[in-house]
Amino acid sequence: MDSVQKDKNVEQIKDVLRQYLQEKGFRNTPERYTILEEIYSLDHHFNVDDLYLLMMQKKYHVSKATIYNTIEIFLDAGLIRKHQFGEKTLSTSSYEKSYFDKQHDHLVIYKRDSDKEIAEIIEFCDPRIQGIKQSIEDAFGVNINSHSLYFYGTKKD
């Protein structure tokens, strides 16, 4: 993506946030926009600790409580998506930007010597899932608005 398009996208998500905050009557604080920009500059999943550290490294002082609170706002505004990648442990939540994203699902690969530690998360998009969704909608006469699918495994030899 070129930088002009990137700037356009940043302006667009900021508008979405601005409108959301206004509608909900929330405060229009600058740190919310800074956090949003930081998230949209990332190309991977993150958790609250990752984000907190990133902000610290950039000498942007914001409390963890603010990050948690802001994350909730972004979720509700449809700007990010939440994941619980750990299947076998109570792991912390991961998030990713979602506004411009195409639908994708996740393959969670555990370290071979540990069934708790995650080695890698791979994103994949399989058009057959769209087909399954379609036939479930037809069979049950419903509109499916979202879905959640995770595969868990370990690397083969």
Q: How far apart are CA 112 and CA 125, in angstroms?
A: 25
Q: How far apart are CA 125 and CA 144, in angstroms?
A: 18
117 lines the binding site for Zn ion (CB under 5 A): no
- Cα separations in angstroms, 105 against 7, 41, 111, 141, 142: 27, 21, 20, 24, 22
**Which of the residues 96 through 115 are near Zn ion (CB under 5 A)?**
96
Asked whether residue 45 is marked as a ligand-binding residue, the answer is no
Of the chain, the end-to-end C-alpha distance in Å amounts to 36
Q: How far is the CB of 92 from Zn ion (least distance, A)?
A: 16
Q: Which stretch binds Zn ion (CB under 5 A): 48-56, 63-71, 108-116, 119-127?
A: 119-127
Q: Which stretch binds Zn ion (CB under 5 A): 30-38, 85-93, 121-129, 149-157?
A: 121-129
Query: Please, which residue, 96 or 118, has the CB nearer to Zn ion?
Result: 96
Q: How far is the CB of 113 from Zn ion (least distance, A)?
A: 25
Asked whether residue 105 is marked as a ligand-binding residue, the answer is yes
How many residues belong to the site for Zn ion (CB under 5 A)? Answer: 2
Q: How far apart are CA 27 and CA 92, in angstroms?
A: 27
123 lines the binding site for Zn ion (CB under 5 A): yes
Binding characters for Zn ion, 60-99, by CB under 5 A (x = yes): ------------------------------------x---
Q: How far is the CB of 94 from Zn ion (least distance, A)?
A: 8
Q: How far apart are CA 39 and CA 98, in angstroms?
A: 10
**Which stretches of the chain bind Zn ion, using CB under 5 A?**
96, 123
